[in-house]
Amino acid sequence: MDKQEEYFDKKNWLQRLQEGSWEPEILISGIVLYGLFSMFPVVDDLGHYLKNYSLSIFSRGTTGESIVALLKTSLGWLIAGFVSHLLFRSVWAAYIGLTYIYDDQTNVDKFKYAPRFKKGIVKQLNYRKQIIKLEKISSSLFALSFLIFMNILGITFLVLVIGIGVYIWIRFYPERTDFSIFTIILNTVLITYLIDYLSLGLLKRIPYFNKLYYPFYKLISWLLLSPLYRNIYYGFIAHHKRWKVISFLVLFVMISFVAEESIKGKLRSDLIFRPHGGKKFVMQPLHYANQANGDYSDYIWIPQRTINSNILKAFVVHRSTFEENDIKKVCKFDRIKKKYPQKVDSLKLDCLKQFYHLELDKDKVNAPVYYTKNRHSDQDGLLHYIDISHLEKGKHELRLYYNFYNEEKDTTFKRFRSRVGFYKTIDKTEDKTLQTEFNDQ
């Protein structure tokens, strides 16, 4: 076989692949869609893990919430993209079927429509042109959905690399946990990369600056796995007008941002007089077991809003995030464990009691404490049995603080974490047996 025959053979092979590409497209879209619809509970579980058991970079602030919101927004885009692809492919298949039954020479004069209507119908009845048009739309939607999917995968990989890097850093330098400068540098680089991405490579065309930008571009490109999908991006911007691509990208980012913020805010109500910031005036359902509906507080919760007993059960959520860097230091666990190795369990509970600090109406709580795992909320924590027989009938508040250790001053200081209000329905003089029971722990 000479070179010319080999060239045409490869060309025919490629053409056959292109013509038959719709079959794997539909198969992949169907499989991916099935997986995507089942991913939302997994993302919720991931959020729960990041909040309670991951590194502090994910549990403190809103980092974990941002990751969960980003993933849910991305899942929405992917579902929309693959559903649209299947929809257009279905119409495309319908037109393919019609070409076997009818031809493009359909007599539309018998409709006796006005010319303006007749012109549009003639165009629609040209099945071959419609098939070509739908083929382009379907293939573009599939490629675009794959591009979005790979972008999400790249962002997830970047977050994973950052998390591993932070974990290694903390392991070797546990006393240096201020990442503010690192955060500023990382955000600057990522924002610069995003501007270049949305502007279709504007920064690559700026003289001198492109030389400075190149090493950062290469590094972020690899961290975002862009070599796997870069050609799809360049294919779109090379074959479509720039203003259309830029408009689409900007619109895509804006919608994604709004959707992410909506998810993070859990679609807050627009009521004018709803107190958002003053949480001391608000009873949040997730703080009460009978109102939580599966979405329990990550800090503290009690059985219900009204307590008609002299015993209050309060569940304080224990999070592994603080174990290494905070809880051990507060109680000097490593040193005491060597001294009393036979009392490790009691020392652990004592450390937790020192770190988690409860106050009832601004008075420190001294109550029996048991470590348990709640089977409804899937949370580890401390169950407190608090005597409230001395409280008057009416509104009261339970506050949770974390005690942190200051190495320089060799002292501990408390930091407010959460509050939960309740209404006691019986007076301190009444003698009532316990009527409100927690669900089995």
> Per-residue pLDDT tens for 207-219?
888 888 888 888 8
β-sheet with 394-406: strand ranges across: 306-307, 411-424, 394-406, 356-360, 363-364
More confident residue, 170 or 13: 170
Is-contact 179 173, C-beta < 8 A?
A: no
Q: Which amino acid is at 177?
A: T
Confidence tier at 185 by pLDDT (50, 70, 90): confident
Question: Which pLDDT does position 434 carry in this prediction?
Answer: 44
Domain ranges of the chain: 13-264, 282-424
Task: State which of 33-47, 83-97, 302-316 shows the largest mean pLDDT.
Answer: 302-316
Please spell the DSSP secondary structure of 174-233, one letter per residue.
Answer: TT----HHHHHHHHHHHHHHHHHHHTTSSGGGSTTHHHHHHHHHHHHHHHTTGGGTHHHH
3-state secondary structure of 48: helix
The pairing of beta strand 394-406 with beta strand 411-424: antiparallel
Mean pLDDT of 119-123: 68
Task: State which of 69-78, 282-291, 346-355 shows the largest mean pLDDT.
Answer: 346-355
Confidence tier at 107 by pLDDT (50, 70, 90): low
Q: What is the pLDDT of residues 190-212, one digit of tens each?
A: 788 888 887 888 888 888 888 88
pLDDT surpasses 70 at 76:
yes
Confidence tier at 54 by pLDDT (50, 70, 90): low
Q: Quote the percentage of the chain above a pLDDT of 70.
A: 76
Q: What is the pLDDT of residues 376-393, one digit of tens each?
A: 888 889 999 999 988 989
Question: Which pLDDT does position 408 carry in this prediction?
Answer: 79
Mean pLDDT of 128-155: 80
> How many residues are recorded in the chain?
441
Question: Which pLDDT does position 65 carry in this prediction?
Answer: 67
Q: Quote the percentage of the chain above a pLDDT of 90.
A: 10
pLDDT surpasses 80 at 127:
no
Question: Which pLDDT does position 433 carry in this prediction?
Answer: 47
Q: Which amino acid is at 256?
A: S
Question: Which pLDDT does position 246 carry in this prediction?
Answer: 78
Question: Which pLDDT does position 356 carry in this prediction?
Answer: 92
Question: Which pLDDT does position 371 carry in this prediction?
Answer: 92
CA dihedral 223, 226, 228, 230 (to 10 degrees): -170
Question: Which pLDDT does position 400 carry in this prediction?
Answer: 93
pLDDT surpasses 50 at 267:
no
Question: Which pLDDT does position 432 carry in this prediction?
Answer: 47
User: What tokens were used for 441?
Assistant: 């722990």
pLDDT surpasses 60 at 56:
no
Distances (CA, A) of 262 to 69, 70, 73, 181, 267: 9, 11, 10, 29, 5
pLDDT surpasses 50 at 125:
yes
pLDDT surpasses 90 at 314:
yes
b/e per residue 158-172 (b: at least 16 CB within 10 A) = bbeebbeebeeebee
More confident residue, 153 or 260: 153
β-sheet with 311-317: strand ranges across: 300-301, 311-317, 379-387, 369-374
Task: State which of 68-82, 122-136, 299-313 shows the largest mean pLDDT.
Answer: 299-313
b/e per residue 204-215 (b: at least 16 CB within 10 A) = eeeeeeeeebee
Q: Longest C-alpha distance within the chain, in Å?
A: 104
Q: pTM surpassing 0.75?
A: no
